[in-house]
Amino acid sequence: MKIKNNIIAVSVLLNVLLGFLFYNETTKEGPVDVGLSFKEAVRVENYKMAKTLIAEGRQEHISEETLKKINEVMSAGTGFKTYELLEFDNGEMVLLNLTPDAKYEIQDVTIVPDELKSIFK
Protein backbone atom coordinates (compact mmCIF):
# COMPACT_ATOMS: atom_id res chain seq x y z
CA MET A 1 0.00 0.00 0.00
CA LYS A 2 2.85 2.39 0.84
CA ILE A 3 4.56 1.76 -2.51
CA LYS A 4 1.31 2.46 -4.36
CA ASN A 5 0.91 5.80 -2.52
CA ASN A 6 4.53 6.73 -3.28
CA ILE A 7 4.06 5.95 -6.98
CA ILE A 8 0.89 8.07 -7.08
CA ALA A 9 2.65 10.97 -5.30
CA VAL A 10 5.64 10.83 -7.66
CA SER A 11 3.27 10.67 -10.66
CA VAL A 12 1.36 13.74 -9.47
CA LEU A 13 4.59 15.66 -8.84
CA LEU A 14 5.93 14.78 -12.30
CA ASN A 15 2.67 15.91 -13.93
CA VAL A 16 2.79 19.22 -12.07
CA LEU A 17 6.46 19.71 -13.00
CA LEU A 18 5.88 18.87 -16.67
CA GLY A 19 2.83 21.16 -16.76
CA PHE A 20 4.88 24.01 -15.33
CA LEU A 21 7.70 23.44 -17.84
CA PHE A 22 5.21 23.28 -20.73
CA TYR A 23 3.52 26.50 -19.57
CA ASN A 24 6.86 28.32 -19.34
CA GLU A 25 7.91 27.16 -22.80
CA THR A 26 4.65 28.17 -24.48
CA THR A 27 4.47 31.62 -22.87
CA LYS A 28 8.05 32.60 -23.74
CA GLU A 29 8.22 35.67 -25.93
CA GLY A 30 10.44 35.43 -28.94
CA PRO A 31 11.71 38.24 -31.17
CA VAL A 32 8.59 38.22 -33.36
CA ASP A 33 6.31 38.37 -30.30
CA VAL A 34 8.18 41.42 -29.01
CA GLY A 35 7.98 43.04 -32.45
CA LEU A 36 4.24 42.41 -32.68
CA SER A 37 3.64 43.80 -29.19
CA PHE A 38 5.75 46.88 -29.95
CA LYS A 39 3.98 47.51 -33.26
CA GLU A 40 0.54 47.20 -31.67
CA ALA A 41 1.44 49.49 -28.74
CA VAL A 42 2.77 52.17 -31.12
CA ARG A 43 -0.19 51.74 -33.50
CA VAL A 44 -2.70 52.52 -30.73
CA GLU A 45 -0.41 55.28 -29.41
CA ASN A 46 0.16 53.49 -26.11
CA TYR A 47 3.74 54.72 -25.84
CA LYS A 48 3.93 53.82 -22.16
CA MET A 49 3.33 50.16 -23.09
CA ALA A 50 5.87 50.40 -25.92
CA LYS A 51 8.47 51.70 -23.45
CA THR A 52 7.95 48.62 -21.23
CA LEU A 53 9.29 46.51 -24.10
CA ILE A 54 12.51 48.53 -24.26
CA ALA A 55 15.45 47.36 -22.15
CA GLU A 56 15.82 49.07 -18.80
CA GLY A 57 18.42 51.80 -19.05
CA ARG A 58 17.73 52.28 -22.77
CA GLN A 59 14.21 53.70 -22.46
CA GLU A 60 15.38 57.29 -22.19
CA HIS A 61 17.28 56.91 -25.50
CA ILE A 62 14.04 56.22 -27.39
CA SER A 63 11.85 59.28 -27.08
CA GLU A 64 8.10 59.56 -27.39
CA GLU A 65 8.79 61.71 -30.45
CA THR A 66 10.58 58.76 -32.08
CA LEU A 67 7.61 56.51 -31.25
CA LYS A 68 5.24 59.08 -32.80
CA LYS A 69 7.36 59.13 -35.99
CA ILE A 70 7.22 55.32 -36.12
CA ASN A 71 3.43 55.55 -35.83
CA GLU A 72 3.33 58.00 -38.75
CA VAL A 73 5.42 55.81 -41.09
CA MET A 74 3.69 52.57 -40.10
CA SER A 75 1.63 50.75 -42.72
CA ALA A 76 -0.89 47.91 -42.53
CA GLY A 77 1.46 45.23 -43.76
CA THR A 78 4.49 44.39 -41.68
CA GLY A 79 7.26 41.88 -42.26
CA PHE A 80 9.20 40.54 -39.30
CA LYS A 81 12.81 39.49 -39.67
CA THR A 82 15.09 38.01 -37.04
CA TYR A 83 18.81 38.71 -37.12
CA GLU A 84 21.86 37.73 -35.09
CA LEU A 85 24.96 39.90 -35.22
CA LEU A 86 28.34 38.26 -34.83
CA GLU A 87 30.93 40.81 -33.69
CA PHE A 88 34.50 39.57 -33.72
CA ASP A 89 37.43 40.80 -31.62
CA ASN A 90 39.10 42.20 -34.74
CA GLY A 91 36.15 44.58 -35.30
CA GLU A 92 34.60 42.67 -38.17
CA MET A 93 30.87 41.91 -38.13
CA VAL A 94 28.65 39.32 -39.78
CA LEU A 95 24.86 39.58 -39.85
CA LEU A 96 22.85 36.36 -39.93
CA ASN A 97 19.27 36.53 -41.24
CA LEU A 98 17.36 33.82 -39.36
CA THR A 99 14.04 32.15 -40.05
CA PRO A 100 11.38 33.72 -37.81
CA ASP A 101 10.19 30.45 -36.32
CA ALA A 102 11.29 28.64 -33.18
CA LYS A 103 13.87 26.56 -35.07
CA TYR A 104 15.96 29.63 -36.09
CA GLU A 105 17.83 28.48 -39.17
CA ILE A 106 20.14 30.78 -41.14
CA GLN A 107 18.59 32.14 -44.36
CA ASP A 108 21.33 34.55 -45.36
CA VAL A 109 24.77 35.73 -44.25
CA THR A 110 26.06 39.29 -44.81
CA ILE A 111 29.49 40.67 -43.97
CA VAL A 112 28.80 44.14 -42.54
CA PRO A 113 30.68 46.86 -44.47
CA ASP A 114 32.81 49.30 -42.44
CA GLU A 115 30.49 52.25 -43.17
CA LEU A 116 27.50 50.43 -41.60
CA LYS A 117 29.20 49.08 -38.45
CA SER A 118 28.35 52.20 -36.45
CA ILE A 119 24.64 51.34 -36.79
CA PHE A 120 25.17 48.24 -34.65
CA LYS A 121 27.26 49.85 -31.92
Render pLDDT for 64-117 as a digit per residue (tens, 0 to 9).
999 999 999 998 888 888 899 999 999 999 999 988 777 888 999 999 999 999
Render pLDDT for 7-64 as a digit per residue (tens, 0 to 9).
877 777 777 766 666 655 555 577 878 888 999 999 999 999 999 999 888 888 899 9
Tell me if 6 is assigned to some domain. Answer: no
Does this model's pTM top 0.75? no
3-state secondary structure of 109: strand
Give the pLDDT of residue 112.
96
Tell me if 18 is assigned to some domain. Answer: no
What range defines the domain where residue 96 resides? Answer: 81-120
Give the pLDDT of residue 27.
56
Give the chain's domain count.
1
Tell me if 56 is assigned to some domain. Answer: no
Burial (CB count within 10 angstroms: exposed 0-12, middle 13-18, buried 19+), residue 51: middle
Residues whose CB is less than 8 angstroms from the CB of residue 81 and which lie 6 or more positions away in sequence, other chains included: 97, 100
Tell me if 4 is assigned to some domain. Answer: no
Give the pLDDT of residue 47.
93
Tell me if 95 is assigned to some domain. Answer: yes
Give the pLDDT of residue 36.
87
Q: Answer whether residue 121 shows pLDDT above 80.
A: yes
